[in-house]
């Protein structure tokens, strides 16, 4: 499982380059007109934009893999370095928490050995429904907090 992303890091760098050309063209024009104070603010603006775009893009590279065997549930998650958690399938429960008005996405959490392991927190609604279908097809029971709704 991985989040949907609309642009790769290389594409974001090209967008930042385009912004840099426009921002510094305007800043240099104002500097030549005698308003040199604009130049450091243009640099700060571009640096902040670059940092925020980097952070947003970095979040889009996280992923999770849930390996389901007859005995084990193996949850691999992370960005670069994988954190691997191996759980005994018979001891695990998957809880689906939904809001009353469905104004928030449902939360999927594996409970095992007194610990909680969130699954698919970065997925959109259609991907969460696909996850639920796959978990059901693998024979894993889902406990829903709003079980009376279909």
Which CATH fold would you assign to the domain 63-144? PH-domain like (2.30.29)
- State the number of CA atoms in the 13 A half-sphere of 3 facing the CB: 16
- Per-residue pLDDT of 38-96, as tens digits, reads 999 999 999 999 999 988 887 777 788 888 999 988 998 887 777 898 998 888 888 98
The domain ranges of the chain are: 9-59, 63-144
Q: How open is the CA angle 51-3-102, to the nearest 5 degrees? A: 110
Beta strands at 83-88 and 72-78: parallel, antiparallel or unpaired: antiparallel
Rounded to whole angstroms, the Cα distance separating 142 from 136 reads: 8
Q: Is the pTM of this model over 0.85?
A: no
């Amino acid at each position: 499982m991985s989040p949907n992303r609309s642009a790769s890091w290389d594409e974001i760098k090209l967008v930042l380059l385009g912004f840099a050309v426009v921002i510094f063209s305007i800043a240099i024009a104002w500097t030549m007109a005698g308003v040199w104070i604009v130049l450091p603010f243009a640099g700060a603006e571009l640096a902040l934009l670059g940092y925020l775009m980097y952070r947003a893009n970095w979040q889009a590279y996280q992923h999770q893999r849930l390996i389901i065997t007859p005995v084990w549930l193996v949850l691999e998650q992370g960005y670069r370095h994988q954190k691997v958690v191996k759980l005994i399938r018979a001891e695990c429960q998957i809880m689906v928490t939904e809001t009353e008005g469905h104004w928030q996405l449902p939360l999927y959490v594996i409970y095992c050995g007194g610990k909680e392991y969130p699954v698919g927190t970065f997925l959109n609604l259609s991907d969460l429904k696909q996850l639920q279908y796959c978990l059901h097809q693998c024979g894993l029971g889902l406990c829903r907090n709003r079980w009376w709704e279909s």
